[in-house]
Structure 1
Amino acid sequence: MLVRENLSLTFFTPDLSQNSGAIYFETGISAGFPSPADDFKQERLSLDGILVKNKLATFYARVSGQSMIGAGLDDNDLLVIDRSLEPAHNKIAVCFLDGEFTVKRLKVQADGVWLQPENPNYKPIKITEENNFVIWGIVTNVIKKV
């Protein structure tokens, strides 16, 4: 069954006013065989400082829905969205379509622009002149819970 999904995204603005952050161990954590850790260099790490390139144009939004699971965007993931980036073919974009926000992969083809879901249960959306359509921003990172 193919369905058209519209997402209701909740937007958050990054707070870059503080330079605190979580403790970061620079040595890395082995995903293979454990290695002896002689020195654990500690410093503070702010994810905003790493994930946000343009603080005035960057927002966070939470995913609601399953249409992008093939791209690794699962329900309740937190998206980092940069409004200063140029939309381009194959980028994942947050779009405002006919009064609702949605996140899809942009497909720019000779016959027009398509919003391509990453789940075979959802159908692509062809953008027409009748649509109220704005590419709101480009997804740069995804933050997941495990």
Structure 2
Amino acid sequence: MRDGSLRAGDINAFLDVSARSTASVPLASAAAACGSPSPADDHIDRPLDFNELLVRNPAATFAVRISGESMRDRGLLPGDVAVVDRARSPVSGCIVLGLVGGEFTIKTYRLRAEGVVLEAANPDFPDIAIDEASAFEVWGVVTGIVRTF
């Protein structure tokens, strides 16, 4: 790794999300308001399985820790763990883990008339225009993030 960025050879940096074990927690049926308080409801709907929530294609899913601030305005922050699904094909507007010039980057995938653009979600970082000469590969679609605090 150089300056916190992943290179193609840094495969050990990817976190294995294979279902070694499962963990579930009770999931309340009522949503918690982030605005005005709502009446408490102690009804538990069903256990929430984090594998079921985060992993649709176990054989094609892995996780990678996020570094840098380029995607902060889309809610991806340094230290977050991005869940990446290699079985999903990118569509314009989705967030992808891409390999550009031998280094990994997470950006918004945008398909335009002139080609693919990897958009940053922070005005301090430039977008990356991909052309036929670019060494570019989509490694997977980011399907979620995990954040602890």
SS at the partner of 2:110? strand
Of all paired residues, the percent bearing the same amino acid is 30
Partners of 1:6 and 1:102 within 8 A in 2:
no
Q: Given residue 74 of structure 2, which amino acid in structure 1 is its aligned partner?
A: A
In the other structure, the counterpart of 2:71 is 68
RMSD value, Cα: 2.3
Report whether the alignment pairs 1:7 with 2:5. yes
What TM-score do the two structures reach when normalised by structure 2? 0.82
- Give the C-alpha shift of residue 63 in structure 1: 0.5
Paired residues, number: 139
Match of 1:84 among 84, 87, 91: 87
Match of 1:48 among 28, 48, 51: 51
Give the Cα separation in 1 of the matches to 2:17 and 2:118: 27
- Give the C-alpha shift of residue 112 in structure 1: 1.1
In the other structure, the counterpart of 1:137 is 140
- Give the C-alpha shift of residue 6 in structure 1: 8.0
In the other structure, the counterpart of 1:35 is 40
Q: Which has the higher contact order (CA 8 A, sep 6+)?
A: 1
Q: Which runs of 5+ in 2 are unaligned?
A: 8-12
1:89–1:30 Cα change, 3 Å: closer
Deviations 1:28-85 (A, max 9, x none): 4643234253xx5486543112210000111111101000001100011111111111
1:71–1:42 Cα change, 3 Å: closer
Partners of 2:26 and 2:47 within 8 A in 1:
yes
Partners of 2:110 and 2:118 within 8 A in 1:
yes
Give the Cα separation in 2 of the matches to 1:28 and 1:6: 40
Report whether the alignment pairs 1:93 with 2:91. no
In the other structure, the counterpart of 2:130 is 127
In the other structure, the counterpart of 2:117 is 114
